[in-house]
A and B are shown apart, each in its own frame.
Chain A
Amino acid sequence: MTTGASMLLKKQLKEMESKDGTQGFSAGLSEDDDLFKWEVIIYGPPDTYFEGGFFKAELLFPQNYPNSPPKMRFVSEMWHPNIDKNGDVCISILHEPGDDKWGYEEASERWRPVHSIESILISVISMLSSPNDESPANVDAGKEWRDDYQGAFKRNVRRTVKKSQELL
């Protein structure tokens, strides 16, 4: 299993290195050359309050990847309904499949081994633009997104954008 996981990660790393970042992110290994630990930068999507931000995150892959999903955690401070205050990203495609017998509908949105690192990052970018407010991981951000989008929500997001630029 472990060798399969490292081969798959190595392959994706190579593909990632040949990209130019126009898809809204850049990704590579964290400094310690551990294939199971990646560092990514998500560019705040245009036409959202996140625009202009360079948000740093880490992806931690389990030994049995791709049967289990990686975990994604923002290192940069984030203000978003689906990112909790520790930076952990809570989206359905990063959730274990569970048993399909009882949750077939749900299962389709969950982790599947055919998801690539690229497809994960694309989902995260789309999550930034359109949060899922049914189950916020950051309840305060969820409330603001619903009730005070142009006020408090914008203010808090813009603050994180500014902070992310300073850290570059």
Chain B
Amino acid sequence: MGNCLTGHAADDLSLLHEEPDRVSERLGPPPPYQEAAPVYHLSPNQRRTVSQLTEEEQVKIAQRIGLIQHLPTGEYDGTKKARECVICMLDFQIGDALRYLPCMHTYHVKCIDDWLMRSFTCPSCMEPVDAALLSTYESR
């Protein structure tokens, strides 16, 4: 039991990026067995609209956005080693807006920012982004 998570167990932040109703429509109604299954709680994951978020959650989202915006960005100029964004699987084109994570992995800004709102880790190496970010600040 417990290996199979029910429906959408992402944190609340994902609400900003999808319309849950449309997703569940696409995936069909959850099969009845899920109703009795335990929900895996890493974080509160009741589904609410953004306006129903508590003040604390709104602060958390604002903080997360702030942290993401502290990560360096740049434009692809064709000289860097990284050539492909592994999220969208497309090659970087000259002029693409890139974001550099502390682990040195590079993605399109539009590809990585959505992910970082869900999980503050690098999707390639799983390095937690906030820890690295904080230590960078401390060492200054």
Contact = CB atoms under 8 A, between A and B. Distances in A.
B87 A84 contact: no
Interface stretch (B25-33, B73-81, B93-101): B25-33
A99 B31 contact: no
Contacts of A64: 14, 17-18, 23, 114
A62 interface: yes
Contacts of B26: 36, 60-63
A82 B5 CA distance: 12
A86 B30 CA distance: 11
A143 interface: no
Interface string B21-41: 011001110010100000010
A116 B88 CA distance: 10
A132 interface: yes
Chain A contact surface mostly: loop
A18 to B, nearest CB: 14
7 contacts: A7-B90, A62-B18, A98-B10, A100-B120, A100-B128, A136-B3, A137-B3
Interface of B: 1-5, 8-11, 14, 17-19, 22-23, 26-28, 31, 33, 40, 42-43, 45, 86-90, 110-111, 114-115, 118-121, 123-124, 126, 128
Given A63-B22, A112-B119, 17 more contacts: A8-B89, A36-B26, A60-B28, A63-B19, A63-B23, A64-B114, A67-B14, A68-B14, A68-B23, A88-B4, A90-B4, A92-B3, A96-B14, A98-B11, A100-B119, A134-B3, A135-B4
